[in-house]
Amino acid sequence: NAGVTQTPKFRVLKTGQSMTLLCAQDMNHEYMYWYRQDPGMGLRLIHYSVGEGTTAKGEVPDGYNVSRLKKQNFLLGLESAAPSQTSVYFCASSRGGDWSSGANVLTFGAGSRLTVL
Amino acid sequence: AQSVTQLDSQVPVFEEAPVELRCNYSSSVSVYLFWYVQYPNQGLQLLLKYLSGSTLVKGINGFEAEFNKSQTSFHLRKPSVHISDTAEYFCAVRVFSGSARQLTFGSGTQLTVLP
């Protein structure tokens, strides 16, 4: 009963390097999300997906790309890392559907801490 | 645009004392409201939610929140806190209508329970 699993948990990059964060969920959820968490700023949505093969931009998408080739996986890529991307990244998923039924309560992963030097 | 304001970034309180964590939102339309809790080095967990109906919502671990539409607030309360309640608490809101499929989170309140 893993829920939402993020890999890696920690990563240190040099400016200009690229990397991919992997998010996997085993709950058959339709919707998946990538957030970043910075001190004093709460969580900000980077990109999200409402189904396999679909992605959409959130509040802070610049510098990131995503892919959802399989329903259970949502990948977040940094093509050329910058120090401003130092953050804790959280993946989340939800069943999708009518908000009034509670179908979009988010289940979060444990986070991935990224440092860009 | 909707926004969420958590008025206190840090709240220290002694064990067994009551606590209130404040959350205000700005929206001219109806909203769905949530409180999430983040324990150290973990992801966020849902504490409680308001979707409709009774304005007093009860959640896990003895927490409750009251939706006040006229004051656009959704404050979180617990009558007696424990050391294990030490965590960061996030208020989140989703506007009732529109195509946005996302929550807006507040900046968080760090609750520290002192022995």
- Dihedral angle at the C-alpha atoms of B5, B98, A71, A25, nearest 10 degrees? 20
Cis-peptide, bond into residue A8, ω within 30° of zero: yes
Kindly determine whether residue B9 and residue A108, on different chains, have CB atoms separated by under 8 Å.
no
Q: Does A97 touch chain B (CB under 8 A)?
A: no
Q: What residue numbers bound the domain in which A94 lies? A: 4-116
Of B43, B49, B101, the CB nearest to A50: B101
A35-92: pLDDT as tens digits: 999 988 889 999 999 999 999 998 899 999 999 999 999 999 999 999 999 999 999 9
Please give the tally of structural domains in chain A.
1
Kindly determine whether residue A40 and residue B107, on different chains, have CB atoms separated by under 8 Å.
yes
Amino acid identity for residue B25 in this structure:
Y
When mean pLDDT is compared over A31-40, A88-97, B8-17, B35-44, the highest value belongs to: B8-17
Q: How confident is residue B59, by pLDDT bands cut at 50, 70 and 90?
A: very high
Q: What average pLDDT does the structure give for chain A?
A: 92
What sign does the CA torsion over A111, B35, A32, A55 have? negative
Which residue blocks in chain A are alpha helix, DSSP H? none
Among the listed ranges A33-42, A93-102, B30-39, B106-115, which one has the minimum average pLDDT value?
A: A93-102
Kindly determine whether residue A45 and residue B102, on different chains, have CB atoms separated by under 8 Å.
yes
Q: Does B107 touch chain A (CB under 8 A)?
A: yes
Nearest one of B83, B96, B78 to B35, comparing CA atoms: B78
What pLDDT sits at residue B89?
A: 96
Kindly determine whether residue A100 and residue B52, on different chains, have CB atoms separated by under 8 Å.
yes
Which is more confident, A38 or B94?
A38
- Dihedral angle at the C-alpha atoms of A24, B3, B38, A44, nearest 10 degrees? 40
Average pLDDT over residues B42-52: 91
Q: Does A82 touch chain B (CB under 8 A)?
A: no
Shortest distance between the Cα of A42 and any Cα of chain B, in A, equals: 4
Average pLDDT over residues B85-92: 95
Which residues in chain A have their CB less than 8 angstroms from residue B6's CB? 42
What pLDDT sits at residue B101?
A: 57
Contact A48, B115 (CB under 8 A): no
What pLDDT sits at residue A65?
A: 96
What pLDDT sits at residue B100?
A: 52
Topology of domain B3-114 in CATH is Immunoglobulin-like (2.60.40)
What pLDDT sits at residue A96?
A: 83
What pLDDT sits at residue B28?
A: 67
Calpha distance A55→A53 (Å, rounded): 7
Tokens found for residue B67:
């939706």
**CATH number (domain holding residue A13):** 2.60.40.10
List of residues 6+ apart from A89 with CB closer than 8 A: A6, A21, A34, A35, A36, A37, A46, A76, A111, A112, A113, A114
